[in-house]
Structure 1
Amino acid sequence: MPKQSTQYLEMIATHLNAPYGHVVDANDVAAALRSGNLSSASDDALANELLAHMFLELEPELIGRASFEAGVRLEEAQALYQLARDRFGLPRSTRWEDALEGVL
């Protein structure tokens, strides 16, 4: 059985790590999307904050493709977005919300 691609999950992790060095990896991104919870493998506060900010920093299409790689429906990604806003007081991501308008 071929290994499932994680290229989009890895792209997100690489982008989030850029200013800090290695903080999160593709598994952390996938776990957050799958669980609907901001918790990196280490439960590091910085890692969790970086995961929350993916909705502000990245194109919705990239998050959608990473969600598909992780086996996650867009409804689950939307739940993570809402949790990120509530937990970190993030501003709305109009790009994310506009992309999902009419889809959910």
Structure 2
Amino acid sequence: MTIDEFMTAHGIAIYAETDWEAKAFRIIERDAALESYDLFEQLILYRTVSDFADGIAGRPLHQIWTQGNSRCVICKPADEAAAALFYDSRLNAAEHYLHALKL
């Protein structure tokens, strides 16, 4: 499954992954507006990769951030890799946790 197919299948509006060597983010945005674009700006757009790495260092493998109905799941499968998935959802906290694990 490609990133585009994954995003479409799961309603992901924005996908951001780290490129540690280039010290940049690779960002893919679909034609889907987030209720709160601020969440994306605060976690990715207005930060450097180093700041992002410092913010997730020593934390659990998956992190969940919310702002209104906008959600972000940050996955860090290895020290050299991290990705953030942004989407809108009306799931309650328990449902959202299980959904985030599935993603």
Provide the TM-score with structure 2 as the length reference: 0.30
Structure with bigger helix share is: 1
* TM-score, scaled to structure 1: 0.30
Structure with higher strand content = 2
